Structure 1
Amino acid sequence: MSDRTNEKEIVSDDGSPRNASPNDLDPEKLNDPKMRKLAGEITYADETDPVNTQHNPLAQKLRSRHMQMIAIGGSIGAGLFVGSGSALRTGGPGSVLLGFIITGFMLLCTMQALGELTVLYPVNGAFYTYIVRFVDPSLGFAVTWDYAIGWLTVLPFELTAASITIEYWRDDIHVSVWITVFLVFLCLVQIFGVLGYGEVEFVLSMMKILACVGFIIFGIVVDCGGVSSDDRGYIGARYWHDPGAFRNGFKGFCTVFVTAAFAFGGTELVSLAAAEAADPHRSLPKATRQVFWRIATFYVLSLFIVGLIVPSDSPDLLGASGANTKASPFVLAIKYAGVKGLPSVMNAVITISVISVANSCTYGSSRTMQALAARGMGPRFLMYVDKQGRPLWCIVIQLLFGCLAYIGEANASDTIFTWLLSLSALSFLFLWGSINLAHIREYAHGFTKHQLPYQAAFGIWGSYIGVALNLLAIIATFYTSLFPVGSSPDAETFFEQYLAAPIVIALYLGWKAYTRDWKLFIRSSEMDVTMGIRRGSLEIAAEKGRSSWTKALRIFI
């Protein structure tokens, strides 16, 4: 370890860097037991993180452009393009728009909190590490394993969905052939390690972004009656009046949250990628700020357009799910406009999007399982990382789970897939709530603004809002699972939607019993706030010279 790792770099009043001294901290803070660790040695993440020093470290090959695309378009997939159809039919366009705005703001608060934590601690495992350090090891164990299991079970579903999209052009080739093709493609991507993941996501995300922008422009033209082949003429807000903006009342609105969470799921992967980024303290803040544009443009605006030009009572929306791309409201919007050829283009976009999410599944689960194992919360063989920085055994397990896609040929395939997806339905909400809680608990140790390389735009209050909104979304999903729209309460229906909750509770209590640690939270005096910290506060020092409105713009650009 070099001598520089024992220095704290700050900026003088004249803008020149200098080494910190004890006088740079508030004397009262130095006497505070909570702050004594902060006044001591602060080192680089890649030099002290135990995950990165056991066996071989993960390769740090992701560039800024990779991080930008992972943040902007990495998780745009079947949840948006197809799953939104079921939410539109059940809740109506008003419920979809309002539900996605609320969930989007919740995610924006979460990503700002996660950005602050990750720039300060760009370590392997990211959010898992923060929950374990600042909240409770049992909670970190439970929500992170639930998150990893969620990605494991989503992969076969995405492979099946991608294969079904091919039937749009070639229904004479068996689905299992395409499943094999996509599995082989994922295996080839893994050969190139994290760089392969980054390059594939960069290209596919660029295509998805262009498709979303093109659809928004097309939708505006259709709504204004500018397509000659569409006999509906000017549409305007017609479908908001008939069949109506809100279907099935409050219950219909509550059904949107789980769909929105699934559609937004994967945004947090940019935090996992920080441990394999070449320059995380510069690329991650930029990537975090891009989340706002993805939420505002590619989700909220595109779904608003869909709600204008696709009636929510359309029988074609029946069965809209991740594996039934024919019911995609985006495809239906083009089909109803009567434009030949474009439905095929949109179907190709959905195919690309689903493959992209399958690629993210492999990355998300493998890095999460490796981090869990490296800290003693998983089988030891999973911590192995080869010389190219690939967690091989974790990748093998994920790809083996992908083989479950072949059960699509079984008689009870729909039931099997429904139960598999129930394992991941709430995993994102549990994780996002825990991330916000970790951010709140971080401040319990006494961090000050000048010690943070990047500050969350909404501060600690944004995390309080994030926790509250996550709890409301979980309660709303519980309500609609117990009392589903259009049917009476049923145990099977309930667990199909809410199975992740008892699994998280079982994992949480199981780890509590195993460790015999029954404390609800880690005491602030016991928090490890120095291991893997990223030193330097150049960005915050530069912000001090900017005007208030410029600082406000930095939330988004």
Structure 2
Amino acid sequence: MTAGEPEVEKKEPITTDPSSDSQPSYDDVEAAHGTVEHISPLKRSLQGRHMQMIAIGGAIGAGLFVGTGEALYEGGPGSLLLGYLIVGGMLLLTIQALGELAVLYPVNGAFFTYCVRFIDPSWGFAVGWDYAIGWLIILPFEITAAGITIQFWRDDINIGVWVTVFLVALSAIQIFGVRGYGEVEFVLSIIKVTALLGFIILGIVIDCGGAPKGSYIGTHYWFDPGAFTTFEGFCAVFTTAAFAFGGTEMTGLAAAEAANPAKSIPKATKQVFWRITLFYVVGTFIVGLIVPANADYLLGSSGANTKASPFVVSIQNAGIKGLPSVMNAVITISVISVANSATFGSSRTIQALAANGMAPKFLAYVDNAGRPLYCILLQIAFGFLAFINEASSTGDTIFTWLLALSGVSNFFIWGSVCFAHIRFRQAWKYHGHSVDELAYAAPFGEIGSWIGLSLNVLCLIAEFYVSIAPLNATDFFENYLSVPLILALYFCWKIYSANSKDPKINNRGWKILLNIEEIDVMSHIRDGALDVDLPPRKVYATWGEWFKAAPMRMVRSLI
């Protein structure tokens, strides 16, 4: 149901085959703009508890625990809070839109597939490969970061030892397929969520003067050194926030392997609200209260340098013994969790690209256990880049440029999800369907996606301003290198598809967007037989009844 419309009685669920099994198969069917080769299907092994914990804590990592310090130093506590609120609100709208699409089309590749299907195949190719490349590169970075966190206790052991240990552990998890990913994320997310709740409570105690060292702080640091630094510093917060929020879209990607997406995905998308509100907004607000923005140690708060993490240092400065080590352990766990998500995110996206003829054919292979085997091997191979710091003195520089390839790509991906949802709604209406037929509809509807798209564009503009402000080519490309990469990928596929003789490749010439009338809204649709256990929608006879019930309905929608 879209915002501002009364809820209506749910119509008969759409079904592709009422006699089919409860878990639909997507083998040997026509893809959105190509043909998927016959392969073993991905296993639908993710239960509701897995999906909810992936949504609420799956991507919480060094971006929040460490990167927050750099954002605090550059923008001040006011900029930090506003930046996370804006990006969080934008992402909430994006995830709601993605949830609607993922429930109706729980296919592998998620947003990449939706971009191909509802926007343009070339744009889908660019977004899909940019997303995959980002995760391929993030894996070695996160493994290296995990090794750095260990040096908090043992800086006498070569980091290469820990890189090896973590690579072996991540490889072992892949043996168990998606169920292994789900169980590991379930456990690690519980640990991260518990630790963050504990830190928020502890931060309040520290701010009120209840720590062994220090006295009442209150909002002192909002006035001295101040809530804001410069406009450039405010704009810089958006990149840090995007990195910290990155991976939240994993719930949509996991839809293809969810046991019952119609039930688990809506619940998971609702958890994103609590994750954004409680952990990111409240958490960073507490950090801004107890850590001065001009603290020298914040200058080193990047990567996984936990010695500069505002979460760790604030506890140390309060004179609380033991807890800094606990928080450092949580950061280590968080980094490993993100590395685990990187393997999942890249392997599933690359497999979907290959299945649509946009990557080497052998990468589309899925074994009988539901594992995209060659894609996983490719991701693990990229993990060996974590040894680059041991092999070269310029390892940090190489990593910086590799990570630049995924710099602002999150804004492109989230904006593309919103635009794909807008195009889907337009095509859905054009083909004679109504929102009432959807098992799950984004609460803010098409308007919410327009707002989300606009905010993504504004964030890209803000980051562009930050990138050109120093008038330094190196700084610009370190921040904005992903933009020319996405454009290059887009035009490469346009040229290739325009000249390809492959019948699976849709030659659309240089048309920018698919026409609404040529968008197919029925292929790959979820089996409506799964809707039998979904609760019925409430019917409101008048707008007055709808508005009267709005407060309680909002509460129920977030639980």
In the TM superposition, residue 46 of structure 1 has moved relative to its aligned partner by 2.4
Contact 2:69 2:310 in 1 (8 A): yes
Query: In 1, are the aligned partners of 2:99 and 2:269 still within 8 Å (CA)?
Result: yes
Q: How far does the alpha carbon of each residue in 1:258-317 deviate from its partner, in whole angstroms, 9 at most, with x for none?
A: 110110000111111111111111111100111000000010000000000000100011
Confirm or deny that 1:438 pairs with 2:424: no
Counterpart-to-counterpart distance in 1, 2:285 and 2:41: 44
Q: Deviations over 1:233-255 (max 9, x none)?
A: 000000000111001x2111000
Residue in 2 aligned with 1:160?
Answer: 144
Asked if the contact 1:316–1:327 (Cα under 8 Å) also holds between the matched residues in 2, the reply is: yes
SS at match of 2:221: helix
Distance 1:373 1:164, change over 3 A: same
| Contact 2:15–2:525 (8 Å) recurs in 1 | no
Alpha carbons of 1:543 and 1:213: their partners in 2 closer, same or farther (altered >3 Å)? same
Q: Percent identity?
A: 60
Q: Would the aligned equivalents of 2:26 and 2:41 in 1 still touch at CA under 8 Å?
A: no
Q: What's the CA shift string for 1:336-362, capped at 9, x where partnerless?
A: 111111111110000000000000000
* Counterparts in 2 of 1:554 and 1:441: CA distance versus 1, 3 Å: farther
- Rounded Cα–Cα distance in structure 2 between residues aligned with 1:472 and 1:46: 40
Q: 2:175 aligns to what?
A: 191
CA positional deviation for 1:85: 0.9
Q: Quick check: 2:16–2:526 contact (8 Å CA) kept in 1?
A: no
How far apart, in 2, do the equivalents of 1:525 and 1:374 lie?
25
Higher mean alpha-carbon deviation, 321-330 vs 75-84, is at: 321-330
Residue 218 of structure 1 corresponds to which residue in structure 2? 202
Structure 1 residue 555 and structure 2 residue 557: aligned? Answer: yes
Residue 168 of structure 1 deviates from its aligned partner by 1.2
The aligned residue for residue 3 of structure 2 is none
Alignment RMSD (CA, Å):
2.0
How many Å apart are 1:41 and its aligned residue? Answer: 7.7
8 Å Cα contact 2:347-2:376 kept in structure 1: yes
One-letter amino acid matched to 1:268: E
Deviates most, 509-518 or 326-335: 509-518
Uncovered stretches (5+) of structure 2, i.e. residues with no partner: 1-7, 499-508, 541-545
Are 1:41 and 1:530, in contact at CA under 8 Å, matched by a contact in 2? no
Kept after mapping to 1: 8 A contact 2:221/2:293: yes
Letter in 1 for 2:473: A
Q: Name the residue aligned to 1:287.
A: 268
Do the aligned partners of residues 377 and 47 (structure 1) sit closer, same or farther apart at CA in structure 2, a change above 3 Å counting?
closer
Corresponding residue for residue 133 of structure 1: 117
Question: Which position in structure 1 is the counterpart of 2:396?
Answer: 414
| Equivalence for 1:526 | 518
Displacement, 1:50? 5.0
Residue 519 of structure 2 aligns with an amino acid whose one-letter code is M
The 8 Å contact of residues 66 and 306 in structure 2, kept in 1 or not, is answered as: yes
Preserved CA contact (<8 Å) 2:407 2:482: yes
Displacement of 1:325: 1.9
**1:53 Cα deviation from its structure 2 partner:** 7.0
In 2, distance between residues paired with 1:528 and 1:45?
A: 19
- Out of 427, 436, 440, the residue aligned to residue 450 of structure 1 is 436
Per-residue Cα deviation, 1:366-391 (whole angstroms, up to 9, x for no partner)? 00000000000111111011110000
Report the Cα offset of residue 549 of structure 1: 3.3
Q: Which moved more, 1:361-370 or 1:409-418?
A: 409-418
Among 457, 465, 468, the alignment partner of 1:479 is 465
* CA positional deviation for 1:460: 0.5
For 1:57-456, list aligned pairs within 5 A: 57-227=41-211, 229-231=212-214, 233-247=215-229, 249-409=230-390, 410-445=392-427, 446=429, 447-456=433-442
TM-score under structure 1 length normalisation: 0.90
Instruction: Determine the C-alpha separation between the residues in 2 that align with 1:39 and 1:452.
Output: 11
Residues of 1 paired with 2:173 and 2:550: CA distance? 45
When residues 388 and 246 of structure 1 are mapped into structure 2, their CA distance, relative to the original with a 3 A threshold, is same
Per-residue deviation, 1:82: 0.5
1:138·1:511 contact (CA, 8 Å) conserved in 2? yes
Q: Is the 8 A contact 1:66 1:199 kept in 2?
A: yes
Q: What CA distance in whole angstroms lies between the structure 1 residues aligned with 2:348 and 2:240?
A: 25
Q: Where does structure 1 lack aligned partners over 5 or more consecutive residues?
A: 1-11, 21-37
Task: Sort the Cα spacing of 1:45 and 1:482 in 2 relative to 1 into closer, same or farther, 3 A.
Answer: farther
Deviation at 1:504, TM superposition (A): 0.2
* 1:54 counterpart (25, 38, 47): 38
How many residue pairs end up in the alignment? 519
